[in-house]
Amino acid sequence: MALGEFDLIEKYFRPPVQRAALGGGDDCALLVPTPGMQLAVSTDLLVEGRHFLSTVAPDRLGHKALAVNLSDLAACGAEPLAFTLALSLPRAEASFLAPFASGLLALAEQHEIELVGGDTTAGPLTIGITVIGEVPEGLALLRSGAAPGDELWVSGCLGDARLALEVFRGHAELPGDAFSAVREAMERPQPRVALGQALRGVASAAIDLSDGLLGDLGHIRRRSGVGATVWLDALPRSAALAAQPLALQRECLLAGGDDYELLFTAPAGAADAVRAAGLASGTPVTRIGRIEPAALGMKVFAEAHGRDPLDLSAFAGFDHFKS
Ligand code: ADP
Ligand code: MG
């Protein structure tokens, strides 16, 4: 039996709230800001066929829709507080809604972020989430803080989500267990929320990797007015990716997209503090290059002391209106 709009909201999207003064059900939710903190707000939209394949299991989709938003809070060093869910779906079916809500709310609980409202309509499957977090005044990590001489770091491994996509497209092959692992990276990314907060006061700039390393590093470069050098052999990759042909590895590592790792910079003297932040948050961190003066532009070398930079013309960052 199909549910009505309000039954559906009541049944799946009205969990009790503890931190918010008022959750869903009224015209607005009410949040209580902590004195001395700034609010961090971000929205991400997921559209079927563009951001996810129709083959994805609903619980994983619920997870991913929130994960990509939490990743933005992580990149700012913010602590998650509350989120809203704008949902357009073709049919109100329990077989979709129950697992979708459970994947979504399980990740919410893990990060202590509360669903406090939203909007629901019939239409093509589209999920818009707005997250609200908070960060001590003046300590938010921004894209604009990188300076020449800073070192460039990344969390976790790069390229697995793209490798999974290439397997789905029939462009790569993997044994079953390796495929499940990279598919998990694509469908159930783990936002680096604890690392982001541990990097407050340590990192000079940060961004989360959603559109591929080169494209997202380009955002740091533009906002900070700097150049950058990346060492290809330093880029952290899974055993599954390391077993692929070099050209595919490069594509996945440099232009992969959907990594949801943090790319950040820190002064050279802060390397120990960066490693400590990685340890404290249980997140691997790897140094992958250096920030340079703007005039040096963007260069990728095969290794740290390489002489000839790679030709980057094949790796434009992802742009939804150009590709
Ligand atoms: P309005 O039209 O006045 O904005 P709605 O009828 O759209 O209110 O929603 C009723 C209540 O249910 C609101 O409190 C809204 O925040 C909440 N709500 C609607 N859709 C969702 C959803 N997908 N997830 C969580 N809460 C929702
Ligand atoms: Mg509404």
Q: How far apart are the CA of 41 and the centre of ligand 2, in A?
A: 20
Rg of the chain in Å (alpha carbons): 20
Of 50-54, 224-228, 294-298, the least confident: 50-54
Contacts with 43 (C-beta within 8 Å, 6 or more apart), sequence order: 69, 128, 129, 130, 131
Contacts with 197 (C-beta within 8 Å, 6 or more apart), sequence order: 74, 77, 78, 79, 281
Q: How far apart are the CA of 132 and the centre of ligand 1, in A?
A: 17
Contacts with 27 (C-beta within 8 Å, 6 or more apart), sequence order: none
Bridge-partner residues for 88, per DSSP? 121, 126
DSSP helix/strand/coil, 249: helix
Q: Which ligand is nearest to the CA of 120?
A: 1
Pocket of ligand 1 (CB under 6 A): 9, 13, 24-27, 85, 87, 115, 117-120
To test the pocket of ligand 1, the residue of 120, 125, 126, 132 to mutate (highest count of ligand atoms within 8 Å of its CB) is 120
Confidence band (pLDDT; 50, 70, 90) for 164?
very high
Contacts with 41 (C-beta within 8 Å, 6 or more apart), sequence order: 130, 131, 132, 133
Q: How far apart are the CA of 71 and the centre of ligand 2, in A?
A: 26
Q: How far apart are the CA of 70 and the centre of ligand 2, in A?
A: 23
Q: Whose CA is nearest to atom 8 of ligand 1?
A: 27
Q: Whose CA is nearest to atom 12 of ligand 1?
A: 25
Contacts with 46 (C-beta within 8 Å, 6 or more apart), sequence order: 52, 61, 64, 65, 68, 126, 127, 128
Q: How far apart are the CA of 166 and the centre of ligand 1, in A?
A: 38
Q: Which of 319, 303, 301, 297 is nearest to 311 (CA)?
A: 301
Nearest-10 crossing angle of helices 58-76, 176-187: 60
Q: Whose CA is nearest to atom 27 of ligand 1?
A: 118
109-161 pLDDT, tens digit per residue, is 999 999 999 999 999 999 999 999 999 999 999 999 999 999 999 999 999 99
pLDDT of residue 323: 43
Q: Whose CA is nearest to atom 17 of ligand 1?
A: 117
pTM of the shown model: 0.94
Q: Are 116 and 27 in contact (CB under 8 A)?
A: no
Q: Whose CA is nearest to atom 7 of ligand 1?
A: 119
Q: Whose CA is nearest to atom 18 of ligand 1?
A: 118
63-117 pLDDT, tens digit per residue, is 999 999 999 999 999 999 999 999 999 999 999 999 999 999 999 999 999 999 9
Q: Which ligand is nearest to the CA of 105?
A: 1
204-255 pLDDT, tens digit per residue, is 999 999 999 999 999 999 999 999 999 999 999 999 999 999 999 999 999 9
Task: Give every strand in the sheet of 262-266, ordered side by side.
Answer: 205-208, 262-266, 151-155, 285-293, 226-231, 298-301
Q: How far apart are the CA of 119 and the centre of ligand 2, in A?
A: 5
C-alpha 323 chain-centroid distance: 20
Of 53-57, 185-189, 276-280, the least confident: 53-57
